[in-house]
Amino acid sequence: MCSLIWRRISDRRAVRVGAIPRRRAADLTASSGVHGRIAKRTASLNGVEVTQITFHVGARWSADLKEYAGTDLCVLPHVALVTAGTLAVEMRDGEHAEFSTGDVMLLPPEHDAWAVGETDCTFVEFSRGDDYNDGEVTHGEG
C-alpha cells in the first residue's frame, strides 16, 4: 500500500527556511486556468513553480480534469500546503486520506481528489518546473 504523508503545521511557531531574492518582473512568468470546478494560478521563476489550486464545492479530479488529462487518475506527484477547506484523496489501491487547512501533503502519482463538504478547498503546490513537462513525471538528479 502506498503511504500518504501529511503533517500539521503548528500555529505557534515559524521556521525560516531561506530567503527569496527579489526578481525583475521579466524573470517571472504567470498563468492561470479553469477546468470545470477546478481553478489554478501558477507563477514560475527559474524553473520553480508555485501554483494555487482551488477545488470549488463539488469539484472532483476524475470529473473535472480526467478528459483534459487523458488519464483515469492524476499521474503527477504533488507537494502542497492546504490553506482552506478539506481535500479528500484516494489512491489507485484504495488508500484514502483527507487534508485540511494547515496540512502539508505529499501525494504520489495515481490518485483522485475532491473537495469535501460545502467549502472550497484551496492549496498551494510547490514543484520544479520540469516535474510537469507534458504531463509526464520526470525525476531530476540530486
CB 50 within 8 A of CB 123: no
Task: Count Cα atoms within 13 angstroms, Cβ side, for 64.
Answer: 20
- Backbone φ and ψ for 71, nearest 5 degrees, come out as -135, 155
Average pLDDT over residues 14-18: 41
Residue with more model confidence, 28 or 51: 51
How does pLDDT run across 43-70, given as a tens digit for each residue?
A: 887 777 889 999 999 999 999 988 888 9
3-state secondary structure of 1: coil
State yes or no: pLDDT of 31 exceeds 90: no
Which DSSP letter does residue 136 get? -
**Domains, in order of start, for the chain:** 29-130 (2.60.120.10)
How does pLDDT run across 85-140, given as a tens digit for each residue?
A: 999 999 999 999 999 999 999 889 999 999 999 999 999 998 765 555 544 443 33
Average pLDDT in the chain = 77
CB 54 within 8 A of CB 39: yes
CB 94 within 8 A of CB 22: no
Type of residue found at 85:
G
3-state secondary structure of 134: helix
State yes or no: pLDDT of 10 exceeds 70: no
**CB neighbour list of residue 15: distance below 8 Å, 6 or more residues apart:** none
